[in-house]
Amino acid sequence: MLRRSIFYFLRHGETDWNKDHRAQGQMDVPLNATGIEQAKRASKIACDLDIVTICTSPLKRALDTAKMIQGSRRCNLEIIEDLSECSWGNREGDTKGRWFTDWKSGYANPAGAETYEIFIERALRGINLALKRPGPVMIVSHGGVYWAVQNYARLGEESDIPNATPVLHEPPQPNTGEWRTSVLTQAS
C-alpha cells in the first residue's frame, strides 16, 4: 500500500538514451543539455514549493537533477537505493520493443533482469521509505519507479511521466477515496 502523504514526484531530466527510447535501467547515463535545462526549470518551480526533504535514486541522472532542486531549496537530500530504475539485465542499452512488452507482461524476463513484480515491490518500498521522511517530500527518480505510484495510487493505466516536470500527489480524502495529482508548471 502507498503511504498516505502529500508528496511531489519528479522524473529526472532527459538523457540521450531517453531520446533514443533505450532502456537505461541501472546504467549511469548522464543528463544531456536538454535534461540540464529541464532540471533548471524544475528547480525554479521548486522554489515556490513547500519541500522539506528530497529523496533520490543514486543514479547520476536522478541525483544530478535532485542536486539542482536542492540548490534552489536548501533542504535535506537523501539517497534511497530502492528508488533506482529497474535492472533490465542484458537488455540495458537496447531500444524498447517486444522484449520490453514481454517483460512487463511477465511473459519473458531478460537475463539478469528484475521481474516486473519484484521491481514494482522494490520501487514501492523506496517510495514509502521516502514518505517517512520529514515532508512534504520530493522524490526524484525514474519513469519506471513512477509505475509503482500509478499502480498503488490507482491513477489509471501506466504511462510515462514527462522528464523534470513536478507532479503533486495528494492522498485520498475520506469522502473521495481517490488520490489527486497536479502537474506543476512555471507561470510565464
What is the domain count for the chain?
Answer: 1
Could you tell me the CATH number of the domain that includes residue 116? Answer: 3.40.50.1240
User: Which band of pLDDT confidence, cut at 50, 70 and 90, is reported for residue 188?
Assistant: very low
Question: Is 85 designated active site?
Answer: yes
Taking residues 143-159, what's their average pLDDT? 90
DSSP string, 145-165: HHHHHHHHTT-SS--PPPBT-
List the catalytic residue out of 14, 85, 92, 114: 85
How many whole angstroms separate alpha carbon 73 and alpha carbon 175? 34
Tell me if 27 is assigned to some domain.
yes
Tell me if 2 is assigned to some domain.
no
b (16+ CB within 10 A) / e for 13-37: bbbebbeeebbbbbbebebbebbbe
| Ranges 122-126, 154-158, 166-170: which has the least confidence | 154-158
User: Which band of pLDDT confidence, cut at 50, 70 and 90, is reported for residue 121?
Assistant: very high
Tell me if 188 is assigned to some domain.
no
List the catalytic residue out of 12, 114, 142, 169: 12
Grid cell for residue 69 = 532542486
Tell me if 24 is assigned to some domain.
yes
pLDDT above 60 for 155? yes
Question: Is 37 designated active site?
Answer: no
Tell me if 97 is assigned to some domain.
yes
Q: What is the pTM of this model?
A: 0.95
Tell me if 130 is assigned to some domain.
yes
Tell me if 53 is assigned to some domain.
yes
- What confidence tens digit (pLDDT) does each residue in 44-53 have? 999 989 999 9
Domain that holds residue 124: 7-183
